[in-house]
Amino acid sequence: MADSSASAPRETTGPAIPVIGKSDTKPTWCPGCGDFSVLAAVEMALKRLKIPSHNVAVVSGIGCSSNLPHFLSSYGFHAIHGRALPVAEGIRWANHGLTVIATGGDGDGFGIGAGHFVHTMRRNVDLTYVTMDNQIYGLTTGQASPTSMMGQKTKSTPTGVIERPIDPIALALASGATYVARGFSGDVKHLADLVTNGIQHHGFSFVDVFSPCVTYNKLNTFDFFRQRVYKLESAGHDPTNIGLAFQRSLEWGDKIPIGLFYKADLPTYEDLEEVLSAGPLAQQKAGLVGHENVLDEFR
C-alpha cells in the first residue's frame, strides 16, 4: 500500500518559499458575514502547517462562500455550482503531493452537489472539505437551502419550509467520512483547530461550519448559535465511537454540539489506487513507448 503522505510536501518549507497568505483580491462578502472567519481559519491552518502556497489548491463551486479561493495566495479553482468536490478529486489524483481543500456553501454541497458529497466521502479521498453552512441561498438573494429549518420563511417559501433539513454531520457519518467536525464562525480559534486537524488527517475530512448570513437569514444568526453551541471536547465525547457520533449529530435544539464528532484511520482512495503508488500522476511517464506489447491483444 502506498503512503501518500510520504510524498506530500506538507511540512517542507524554506525561507524562499512563501506560505499561504491573502491574495490581493479583497473579499466581497457583506460586512459581518460568517465567511470571513472561515477564510481566516483556513489561512491560519495553512500557515500553522507551513504548507507552501504553491502546493495548495483550493477548490470551490458557486455561491457567496465559493468565492473564497480568490482571497488566498494559493492555486485555486472556482468551478461551477455543485461541482467543487469532483474537481478537487481530479486535482488530488493528478497530483497527490498537493494539499487540496474544497470550500463552499450548503446549497452547493448539500443541494446541487449532494451526490458528489456522498461519493467523495465513501472513497475517503484525502482532501479537506469546509462548508460555510448558513442555511440559506445568499448569492441568489434569499431562498430556502437544504439545511433551512422547517417553518423558515424565505423568498421561495413565503409560508415556511415544509421539508426537513439535511443533517450534514449524520450524512457524512453514514457516507464513510473519516473526519467529521462542525465549527462555528463565532469561534475562529476553535474552527482553525478543526481545519488544521482536518488537513493533517489522513483521509477525507469534513468541517461543516455554522457561518451565519447576516443579510438573508434572520433565524440562524450569530446569537442563535452563541446561545446553543457547546463543544464536544468539553463534553467528554469519544470521537472514535461512530455510534456516539451519530447520537450527537442528531442533537438540535437548545443545545447544539460543535467540535470533532468522529475520526477514523482508514486507507485513503489514493492509498488503494495502485497507479498512484509510483508517485504523483503528474510526474509519471506517459504514452505507449515501451508498452508496445499492449498491441499484442489485437493480433
Partner 1 sequence: MSEILVRTGGEAGDGIASLGETLARSFARMGLHVFGLNAYQSVIRGGHVWFQARASDVRPYSQGDGADVLYCLNRETFDIHRVDLRPGATIVHDPEKFTIAPGDIPTGTKLLPVPTLAIARKYTSQAILQNASGLGAMAYLAGIPLPVLHGALADSFGKKAGDVVQWNLGASADGYEFARRHSGANDHAVSARGEGKLLLSGNQAIALGAAAAGVKFLAQYPMTPASGIMHWMAAHSRELGIVVKQAEDELAAINMAVGASFGGVRAMTATSGGGFSLMVEALGMAGMTETPVVVVESQRAGPSTGLPTKTEQGDLHLMIGAGQGEFPRAILAPSHPKEAYRAAIDAFRLAEEWQTPVLLASDLHLSENFATVDADEIPVDVPIPPIATATAPATGDFLRYAYTPSGVSPRSIPGQPGLQFVAGSDEHDEKGHLISDVKAGVPIWVAERAKMMDKRMRKLEGLRKAAPPPFLEGPRGAGLTFVAWGSTVGAIRDAMPILDAQGIASNLLFLPTVFPLPVDFVSSVLESARTTLLVEANYSGQLGQLIRQETGIPLPHRLLKYDGEPFYPHEIVAKAREVTGRGGQ
Q: What x-and-dash track marks residues 176-205 binding partner 1 by CB under 8 A?
A: ------------------------------
Q: Which three cell numbers stand for residue 162?
A: 415544509
For residues 14 and 236, which CB has a smaller minimum distance to partner 1 in the complex?
A: 14
Compute the distance between CA of residue 271 and CA of residue 126 in angstroms, rounded to an integer. 9
Q: How many CB atoms lie within 10 A of CB 80?
A: 13
Minimum gap (Å) between residue 41 Cβ and partner 1: 19
Q: What x-and-dash track marks residues 31-70 binding partner 1 by CB under 8 A?
A: ---------------------xxxxxx-x--x----x-xx
- Give the 3-state secondary structure of 163-216: CCCCCHHHHHHHHCCCEEEEEECCCHHHHHHHHHHHHHCCCCEEEEEECCCCCC
| Interface residue with partner 1, options 37, 65, 74, 154 (CB under 8 A) | 74
CB 166 within 8 A of CB 146: yes
For residues 81 and 231, which CB has a smaller minimum distance to partner 1 in the complex?
A: 81
For residues 166 and 260, which CB has a smaller minimum distance to partner 1 in the complex?
A: 166
> Per CB under 8 A, which region of 194-202, 218-226, 243-251, 272-280 contacts partner 1?
272-280
| Interface residue with partner 1, options 235, 250, 266, 275 (CB under 8 A) | 275
Strand partners, 244: none
Which of 191, 299, 167, 193 has its CA nearest to residue 246? 167
- Measured CA distances, 246 to 26, 86, 168, 215, 255 (Å): 39, 26, 11, 32, 15
For residues 111 and 239, which CB has a smaller minimum distance to partner 1 in the complex?
A: 111
Report long-range pairs for 148-155 (Cβ below 8 Å, ≥24 apart): 149/219, 149/220, 152/219, 154/216
276 binds partner 1, rule: CB under 8 A: yes
Minimum gap (Å) between residue 28 Cβ and partner 1: 6
Minimum gap (Å) between residue 56 Cβ and partner 1: 8
282 binds partner 1, rule: CB under 8 A: yes
Compute the distance between CA of residue 141 and CA of residue 2 in angstroms, rounded to an integer. 46
* Residues of the shown chain interacting with partner 1 in the complex, contacts defined by CB under 8 A: 17, 23, 25, 28, 52-57, 59, 62, 67, 69-70, 73-80, 82-83, 85-95, 97-98, 115-116, 118-119, 273-276, 278, 281-282, 284-289, 291-292, 294-295, 298-299
